[in-house]
């Protein structure tokens, strides 16, 4: 159990690759990680919050101002909870908003408020991935310390072929384990001095 008590916040944006996230969440739970999920409204068009609540065993956060149970500092609470944030799938829209400092929904506001590592797993059409604006936004985010799991090459839902597919859940799991293990090793070394 490599992820015992590790807290992972998954931010989901609106892309067909959302279907891979329940598989990832189940794998994380098998490794004894705690998982919370924040979805954009667009993500809920691809997969239901109920599915993710079932596999994560936690409520899914969507609205900035939840009508039934309003919590004024919800974005701060979520931003301080996690050991790592994984934005998957990360759409071109999401990357652009965060690179521009736009916080207009719960997910982008959580990321704006967080001080922990955030890893993006982009997923989009090959032409969107190769777009100069998308690549500029990715470079901006990398330059200020955000981390990325590169998209895979293959056939896409739109029948195009190229780079832009979100990696498979098992590949995302490996990357999260590597990141959290490396981070833990760095913390132990700091304490030793």
Could you give the residue numbers annotated as active site?
Answer: 158
**Quick check: 91 and 59 in contact, CB under 8 A?**
no
Residue 189: CB atoms within 10 A of its CB come to 9
Q: Label residue 143 exposed, middle or buried (CB < 10 Å: 0-12, 13-18, 19+).
A: exposed
DSSP 4-16: TT-EEEEEE-SSG
Output the CA torsion sign for 175, 188, 6, 105: negative
**Quick check: 157 and 128 in contact, CB under 8 A?**
no
H-assigned helices in 82-168: 92-99, 106-113, 126-130, 132-143
End-to-end Cα separation, the chain, in angstroms? 28
Question: Directed axis angle between helix 21-30 and helix 49-56, to 10°?
Answer: 10
Q: What is the rounded distance in angstroms from the CA atom of residue 15 to the CA atom of residue 24?
A: 16
């Amino acid at each position: 159990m490599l992820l015992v008590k590790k807290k992972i916040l998954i931010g989901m944006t609106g892309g067909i690759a959302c279907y891979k996230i329940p598989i990832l969440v189940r794998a994380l739970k098998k490794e004894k990680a705690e998982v919370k999920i924040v979805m954009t409204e667009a993500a809920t068009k691809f997969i239901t919050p109920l599915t993710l609540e079932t596999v994560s065993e936690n409520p899914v956060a969507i609205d900035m101002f939840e009508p039934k149970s309003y919590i004024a500092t919800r974005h701060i609470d979520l931003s301080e909870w996690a050991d790592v944030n994984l934005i998957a799938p990360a759409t071109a829209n999401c990357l652009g908003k965060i690179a521009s400092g736009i916080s207009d929904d719960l997910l982008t506001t959580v990321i704006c408020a967080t001080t922990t590592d955030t890893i993006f797993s982009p997923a989009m059409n090959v032409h969107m991935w190769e777009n100069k604006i998308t690549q500029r936004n990715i470079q901006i985010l990398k330059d200020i310390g955000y981390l990325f799991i590169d998209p895979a090459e293959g056939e896409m839902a739109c029948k195009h072929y190229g780079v832009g597919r979100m990696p498979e859940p098992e590949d995302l799991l490996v990357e999260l384990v590597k990141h959290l293990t490396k981070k833990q090793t760095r913390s132990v070394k700091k304490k030793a001095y």
